[in-house]
Amino acid sequence: MEQTKNIIELKHITKTYEDGYTAVSDFNLEVKQGEFITFLGPSGCGKTTTLRMIAGFDIPTEGEILLNGAPITSLPPNKRPINTVFQRYALFPHMNIYENIAFGLRQKKTPEKVIAKKVKKVLELVDLEGFENRKVDTLSGGQQQRVAIARAVVNEPQILLLDEPLGALDLKMRKEMQLELKEMHRELGITFIYVTHDQEEALTMSDKIVVMSEGKMQQIGTPEDIYNEPINAFVADFIGDSNIFNGIMTGKLKVRFCGGEFPCVDDIEEGTHITAVVRPEDVNLTAPDSGRIRGTVTSVIFKGMHYEITVESGKNEIVAQSVHAAKVGDRVGVQVEPDNIHVMIAEDHTNIFAAEINKNYELEYNGTVLDVSLTDIVKGSVMSEDGSWLDGKGLELDPKKVRIKISIKPQDIELTDDQDEGLVQGYISNLIYKGDHYSYVIHTDLEQDFVVNDEYLWNMEDQVGLLMPVDKMIFTVKK
């Protein structure tokens, strides 16, 4: 189907609840007729709330929703040509499969001959011919999901909304259903709007992906665009596996990160603080002398199709995927081709670096224990009486499998010429006057670059310490 006409338009949609919580903020979107579009993001990002507003179950606090150019913002759900499939299929257990699918048509007073014809057609579509008289509780999860989809599409909606419909299925069944849904979309030719937090699911199925975070759209594009050209560090980190590094442009088409200088294809002004994104499959491991970065292999995990190899260089951690194995303790070099380095101007120049959890369950950086509790950082976790670290479900957490990243803004770091006072030490490798302050790049002894704003003039190559208050740090957890 040619996708030219907008079927749904969301204009400046905001949803704020009575307690003041804003679930969706100034959201704008155009959906073409016949598209398969996916809302992708972590729990609580606003994707389901947006879907519910399209369905009519929630009314926007501000903004307008258009269907085929006509406003439907206040139209009740039963007046919209839209059907929804939920994660929990909401089938009627006292009805057989035929009756479940026919329910919506009967509500519309559709003649029985027409109902029989339509039900037969959708049962063929979902590959459940001959199941008409079966009870719901005799079906597998995948079969129940097919019935829920059949019940939705038998009403011939213009738009089918799917809210994490595969979330209750096991991995094998989920992958099978992904392909089946994509094929159903092709056969039906109607617009699918899908919600998931599963990146692979979104990449596999969608014509277009909307990445959301904290109620806002971060990026919209094809799966290829989202994966290969993430617009910011959040998208890069959320979509697939990524190595994300602070860096600095050191010249024309030259970028430095992890202590090494690399040629790149992004023409950004020299001295600009950047974020460099490198996918693990694009990291080439070489002999130490052949690499622009040198490091030590600290982990090797066999993943079936490849090995996942972690290399530490200074305080930088680089993850590579390779069909060739390595050994823990090997010294290796790291190379990356220019077109495999995606360079983005750093968002408000925030500095990002990784911390470590020591054997006493303390967070430390560069050998200094930070005055912060892990149970405050990892929400819901507790320290048990026997000294174990437990998550909210009472399961023991392995510190080696919990990665904590720290963000701090340039204006929250103070330079000192007493290097020993600093959380980390280094030298000034670049400075730019910004009108009311100087922006410095400090290349540290750990082969990391930090951007620091200071009103006072320091000299190039000055050796300095960086004072970084814990109360100015933002902690992010990845398991």
CATH number of 241-345: 2.40.50.140
What digits encode the pLDDT tens for the residues 439-458? 888 999 988 889 899 999 99
Asked if 68 and 61 count as a contact pair (C-beta separation under 8 A), the reply is no
The H or E element spanning position 302 is: strand 293-302
Of the candidate CATH numbers 1.20.1090.10, 1.10.645.10, 3.40.50.1820, 2.40.50.140, the domain formed by 351-478 belongs to: 2.40.50.140
d(CA 467, CA 185): 56
Does the domain at 6-228 match CATH 3.40.50.300? Answer given as yes
- Do 241-345 and 351-478 agree at the fold level? yes
Which residue type, as a one-letter code, is found at position 343?
A: V
Strands across the sheet containing 284-286: 284-286, 331-335, 293-302, 307-313, 316-322
Look at residue 248 in the predicted model and tell me its pLDDT. 87
Q: How far is CA 389 from the centre of its chain?
A: 26
Query: Exposed/middle/buried for 185, CB within 10 Å: 0-12, 13-18, 19+?
Result: buried
Neighbours of 97 (CB within 10 A): 26
3-class secondary structure, 438: strand
Q: Which residues contact 145 (CB under 8 A, 6 or more apart)?
A: 85, 89, 165, 166, 169, 177
According to DSSP, the β-strands at 216-221 and 260-263 are unpaired
- The residue whose two tokens read 């290399």 is 311
Q: What are phi and psi of 472, to 5 degrees?
A: -100, 0
Buried b (16+ CB within 10 A) or exposed e, 217-240: bbbbbebeebbbebbbbbbbbbbb
Q: Which residues contact 361 (CB under 8 A, 6 or more apart)?
A: 374, 383, 387, 389, 399
Confidence (pLDDT) at 122: 86
Q: How many CB atoms lie within 10 A of CB 59?
A: 13
Per DSSP bridges, beta strands 208-213 and 36-40 are parallel
For residue 347, what pLDDT is reported? 67
Does residue 403 sit in helix, strand or coil? strand
Element (H, E) at 14: strand 6-16
What is the side-by-side strand order in the sheet with 424-433? 414-416, 463-467, 424-433, 438-444, 449-454
- From 37, 35, 28, select the one nearest 9 (Cα to Cα): 28
CA gap 284, 280 in Å, rounded = 9
- Picking from 221, 152, 207, the residue whose alpha carbon sits closest to that of residue 37 is 207
Between the CA of residue 35 and those of 6, 77, 430, what are the distances in Å? 10, 21, 48
CA angle 48, 52, 58 (to 5 degrees): 125
**C-alpha Rg value of the chain to the nearest Å:** 27
Per the listing, tokens 């709330």 go with: 49
Side chain identity, residue 184? M
Which pLDDT score, from 0 to 100, does residue 3 have? Answer: 53
Rounded Cα gap, residues 118 and 151, in angstroms? 10
Rounded Cα–Cα distance for residues 97 and 234 (Å) = 43
Per-residue pLDDT in tens (0 to 9) along the chain, 479 residues? 445 689 999 999 999 998 889 999 999 999 999 999 999 998 889 999 999 999 999 999 999 999 999 999 989 998 898 988 876 667 888 888 998 899 888 888 888 889 898 898 888 888 888 888 888 888 887 788 888 888 888 888 899 999 888 876 778 878 888 888 888 888 888 899 999 988 989 999 999 999 999 899 999 999 999 998 899 888 988 888 889 888 888 889 999 999 899 999 999 988 888 889 999 999 999 999 999 999 999 999 999 999 999 999 988 899 999 999 999 999 999 999 999 999 998 766 678 888 999 989 999 999 999 999 999 999 889 999 888 999 888 889 988 889 898 999 999 999 999 999 999 999 998 888 878 889 888 999 988 889 899 999 999 999 999 999 999 999 988 75
**Contact between 292 and 350 (Cβ < 8 Å):** no
pLDDT score of 479: 58
Rounded CA separation 171/140 (Å): 14
**pLDDT for the residue numbered 348:** 64
392 residue type, one letter: G
Work out whether strand 424-433 and strand 438-444 pair parallel, antiparallel, or are unpaired.
antiparallel
Per domain, the residue ranges of the chain are 6-228, 241-345, 351-478
Output the pLDDT for position 176.
80
Crossing angle for the helix pair 112-125 and 141-153, to the nearest 10 degrees: 130
pLDDT digits (tens, 9 = 90+) for 160-174: 999 888 876 778 878
User: How far is the C-alpha of 220 from the C-alpha of 210, rounded, in Å?
Assistant: 4
